[in-house]
Amino acid sequence: MEKLALLGGKPVRKKPFPSWPLIGKEEINAVVEALKSGHLSTFAAPPSEFFLGGRKIREFEANFATYHDAKYAVAVNSGTAALHIALAAAGVGPGDEVITTPYSFTSTASSILMHNAIPIFADVDLKTFNSAPEEIRKALTPRTKAIIVVHLLGNPAEMDEIMEIAEEHKLAVIEDCAQAIGAKYKNKLVGTIGHLGAFSFQETKNIATGEGGMVITNDDELAERCRLFRNHGETASSKERSYLSSVLGWNYRMTEVEAAIGNEQLKKLDKFNETRIKNAKYLNSKLCKIDGIDIPLERENTKHVYHIYGLFYDGKVLGIKRNDFVDALKAEGISCSIGYPHPLYKNLIFTEKKAYGKTRCPFSCSYYTGNVDYTKVKCQNAEKLCNEHVVWIPVIRPPCTKDDMDGIVRAVEKIIANKNQFKIVGKNDKR
């Protein structure tokens, strides 16, 4: 018997895991070059060549589009901005409903509110954590305008079935690829299957520029609308700047410094993802033998890029409550979490309809003929994941190695072998 670190025993691992993001001399040199150019923000007025962004920005857009074999890429300053302009470009607005997942980061749903539409939540699959097509179908109403599909933790959603639903009901499909750049569904990169793909380069993501995002599409009109919404609704067609906005736009512009970093990070993406996949498969080979822990489900003909290694955890089988297990794993020196602690519809912006303060817009908008009550929404699978069934391990990213993975395995095995000690931990614990 080994004493658990949670109770004062010696932890399996004392050394911190390697940090992320990985910034090399290539990124540093590219940033210095951007600084020396004298152009930092760009998007200067016509007839300047920079109205659609500086050289680094346009280079990053071109490289990103080429990587995805997409016709257009539009750089923005965050993944949230990418979702917002994708919704705007798709024509979503007041009175419309957009179906999405309740198990995701806030901006997946808040971006819908930002364009005065109503999020409708479709429950998820317990093993992939992604929206289940049959639940999307149940959520359809005459007001449905679009679907935001999230490829959570790097695992592609069931796109064939989702696209069938969209085509049948003439809906726009926006792929939220914030955690899944480089992932594939049936040999197609995520983001290229729906009408628009939205990406994030925030520093925790599989490539990182600090902040930043991208929208990709093969549609000429959607691409032009994305550019308009990114830059105050202004067009670049005239020789002189008119200062006339044709649509309500925002300042969602990327900087030259972010684009300089992005260009170098994109070159390393496949190698970064190969490390994530290698580490995940090694963990799979060890943890698959443990009853009560289900390794990430990677469906046939998909490529999971493991932004985070997400386990389905069954505390009843293991005899250890999920929260206790995570606390013990942290004490043993392993970076981990319980994932999202509650479904999105439990946020106050939904339960109290406070998106725009006291006005209760857009829920009370005269264009909206529905009457959604989020206090009565219950996505059972999402709530199970939040309450008891998920363990997230982020430290499978590069430069983590097999030795780092072995530390994770040893910690898990130690906790399970000494689970009787949790009676002591839980004596005054109401969890």
Asked if residue 363 is part of any domain, the answer here is: no
Residue 306, sorted as left (phi over 0), alpha (psi -120 to 50) or beta, turns out to be: left
Q: Is 392 helix (H, G, I), strand (E, B) or coil?
A: strand
Asked if residue 419 is part of any domain, the answer here is: no
Asked if residue 90 is part of any domain, the answer here is: yes
Q: What is the DSSP letter of 74?
A: E
In this structure, how many other beta carbons lie within 10 angstroms of the beta carbon of residue 135?
A: 19
Provide the CA 25 distance to its chain's centre, in angstroms: 27
Q: Is 147 helix (H, G, I), strand (E, B) or coil?
A: strand
User: H or E stretch including 340?
Assistant: none
Is a pLDDT exceeding 50 seen at residue 194? Answer: yes
Identify whether the C-beta of residue 391 lies closer than 8 Å to the C-beta of residue 310: yes
Total tally of structural domains belonging to the chain: 1
In whole numbers, what is the pLDDT of the chain averaged over residues?
Answer: 94
Asked if residue 171 is part of any domain, the answer here is: yes
Query: CATH number for the domain including 193?
Result: 3.40.640.10
How far is Cα 331 from Cα 83, in angstroms, rounded to an integer? 37
Asked if residue 371 is part of any domain, the answer here is: no
- C-alpha distances in Å from residue 8, one per residue of 3, 4, 27, 322, 425: 7, 7, 42, 20, 11
Is a pLDDT exceeding 60 seen at residue 174? Answer: yes
pLDDT given for residue 295 in this prediction = 97
pLDDT given for residue 354 in this prediction = 86
pLDDT given for residue 431 in this prediction = 40
pLDDT given for residue 424 in this prediction = 62
Structure confidence by residue, pLDDT tens digits, 335-389: 999 999 999 999 999 999 988 888 889 999 999 999 999 999 999 999 999 999 9
Print the domain residue range for 62.
25-267
How far is Cα 248 from Cα 250, in angstroms, rounded to an integer? 7
Asked if residue 7 is part of any domain, the answer here is: no
pLDDT given for residue 245 in this prediction = 66
Q: Per the structure block, which two tokens stand in for 5?
A: 């670190």
Structure confidence by residue, pLDDT tens digits, 229-279: 999 888 755 455 565 567 889 999 999 999 999 999 999 999 999 999 999
Strands 293-294 and 188-189: unpaired
Q: Using 50, 70 and 90 to split pLDDT, how confident is the model at 427?
A: very low
Q: Using 50, 70 and 90 to split pLDDT, how confident is the model at 428?
A: very low
Q: Is 348 helix (H, G, I), strand (E, B) or coil?
A: helix
Is a pLDDT exceeding 60 seen at residue 331? Answer: yes
Asked if residue 180 is part of any domain, the answer here is: yes
Calculate mean pLDDT across residues 99-122: 97
Asked if residue 402 is part of any domain, the answer here is: no
pLDDT given for residue 1 in this prediction = 80
Structure confidence by residue, pLDDT tens digits, 65-93: 999 999 999 999 999 999 999 999 999 99
Q: Using 50, 70 and 90 to split pLDDT, how confident is the model at 430?
A: very low
Is a pLDDT exceeding 80 seen at residue 58? Answer: yes
Is a pLDDT exceeding 70 seen at residue 47? Answer: no
pTM of the entire predicted model? 0.94
Is a pLDDT exceeding 80 seen at residue 42? Answer: no
